[in-house]
């Protein structure tokens, strides 16, 4: 659903119901998850009423505090973090930042300052910081690669991600979880993990799905799972886009729930299998 204006009551109800389908799918999948801790990332506006359902199933909760879709980080409710975190008491406060270290330095500085505001607010609170770091290409970076975004991902993104982690860390920020774009190679995953763990040996990385096709996500998960410091994945649209599209256009609710649950379990199995193989090779 692509909105160009504030949602109507009908659209709001449809979005809440779609999120309910996803939550029910994760609850169903959780019964089959072994040696892992499923976590639900859900917003307060359309998903707040569903938090209790997930929590009662033993699922951890992460909630975003940033305004969605902005090129520069800004916070919901003008930085009144307690409006969401205080009310719903999630396990993680999630914030997304688009940060290219070769980009607008003033904007990068403002974003780090806002992240510090959140980190300071979280001090002495039980919630941990989950930082979703996207490193979009600058125009001049794409220009030298003939505009090829895939080459950017393969040739430049990992090094820029490391620099971004280092700059954010140099400002004293220590997220517990870093949600990061999928590494194309084991070497890239190792460099990124090393940068995160140099800041905090307890910090861990999650692989983002970025709405990519299943084959790309499987490659990223298999690659990252072999590297110490990566602990799982944070994949959304790849799991639920097609099942939800079918559901909201009149399809079966049960079919949608089942499809999303098994999509999730398929990726969990891929990640876990790669992780176990890597452990066996080390031994």
Amino acid 3: pLDDT: 61
The parent domain of residue 247 ranges over: 34-277
Task: Give a yes or no: residue 2 inside a domain.
Answer: no
- Could you give the CA distance from residue 18 to residue 230 in angstroms, rounded to a whole number? 30
**pLDDT above 80 for 8:** yes
Q: For residue 129, give the CATH number of its domain.
A: 3.20.20.70
pLDDT band at 283 (very low <50, low <70, confident <90, very high): very low
Q: With contact defined as beta carbons under 8 Å apart, do 155 and 187 qualify?
A: no
Average pLDDT, the chain: 94
Each residue's pLDDT tens digit, 191-236: 999 999 999 999 999 999 988 899 999 999 999 999 999 999 999 9
User: What are the tokens at 75?
Assistant: 């916070």
Rounded-to-integer distance, Cα 257 and Cα 20, Å: 9
pLDDT in tens, 62-102: 999 999 999 999 999 888 999 999 999 999 999 999 999 99
Query: Do residues 141 and 156 lie in contact, with contact meaning Cβ atoms separated by under 8 Å?
Result: yes
Contact 115, 178 (CB under 8 A): no
In this structure, the chain runs to a length of 283
| Residue 36 confidence (pLDDT) | 87
pLDDT at 212: 86
Rounded to an integer, the average pLDDT of 158-182 is 97
CB atoms within 10 A of CB 62: 20
pLDDT of residue 279: 75
Domain count, the chain: 1
Does residue 9 belong to any structural domain of this protein?
A: no
**Residue 6, in any domain of the structure:** no
DSSP per residue, 205-270 = EEEE-TT--HHHHHHHHHHHHTSTTEEEEE--HHHHHHHHHHHHTT--HHHHHHHHHHHHHHHHHH
| Residue 21 belongs to some domain of the structure | no
In-domain check, residue 14:
no
What number of other Cβ atoms are within 10 A of residue 194's Cβ? 14
Residue 11 domain flag: no
pTM over the 0.85 mark: yes
Distance CA(11)–CA(230), nearest Å, equals 37
Indicate whether 268 pLDDT > 90: yes
CB 115 within 8 A of CB 108: no
Burial (0-12, 13-18, 19+ Cβ within 10 Å), 4: exposed
Instruction: Write out the two tokens for 177.
Output: 């979880």
**71 sits in which H/E element:** none
The string of pLDDT tens digits covering residues 229-259 is 999 999 999 999 999 999 999 999 999 999 9
Whether 3 is in a domain gets the answer no
Select from 12, 25, 15, 7 the least CA-distant residue to 255: 25
Q: 184 lies in a domain?
A: yes
Give dist(CA 70, CA 75) in Å, integer: 10
**Residues 233/263, Cβ–Cβ less than 8 Å:** no
């Amino acid at each position: 659903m692509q909105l160009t204006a504030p949602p109507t009551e009908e659209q709001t109800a449809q979005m809440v119901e779609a999120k309910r389908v996803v939550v029910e799918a994760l609850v169903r999948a959780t019964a089959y998850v072994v040696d892992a801790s499923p976590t639900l990332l859900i917003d307060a506006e359309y998903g707040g009423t569903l938090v209790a359902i997930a929590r009662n199933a033993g699922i951890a909760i992460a909630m975003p505090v940033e305004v969605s879709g902005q090129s520069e980080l800004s916070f919901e409710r003008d930085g009144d973090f307690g409006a969401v975190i205080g009310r719903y008491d999630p396990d993680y406060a999630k914030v997304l930042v688009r940060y290219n270290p070769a980009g607008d330095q003033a904007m990068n500085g403002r974003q780090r300052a806002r992240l510090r505001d959140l980190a300071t607010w979280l001090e002495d609170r039980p919630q941990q910081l989950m930082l979703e770091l996207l490193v979009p290409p600058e125009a001049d970076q794409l220009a030298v690669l003939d505009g090829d975004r895939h080459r950017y991902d393969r040739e430049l993104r990992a090094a820029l991600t490391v620099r971004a982690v280092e700059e954010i860390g140099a400002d004293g920020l220590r997220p517990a979880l870093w949600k990061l774009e999928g590494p194309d190679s084991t070497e890239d995953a190792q460099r990124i993990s090393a940068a995160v763990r140099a800041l905090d040996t307890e910090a861990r990385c999650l692989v983002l799905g970025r709405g990519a096709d299943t084959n790309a996500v499987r490659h990223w998960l298999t690659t990252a799972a072999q590297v110490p410091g990566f602990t799982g994945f944070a994949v959304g649209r790849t799991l639920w886009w097609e099942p939800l599209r079918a559901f909201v256009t009149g399809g079966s609710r049960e079919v949608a729930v089942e499809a999303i649950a098994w999509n999730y379990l398929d990726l969990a199995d891929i990640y876990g299998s790669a992780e176990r193989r890597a452990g066996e090779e080390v031994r």
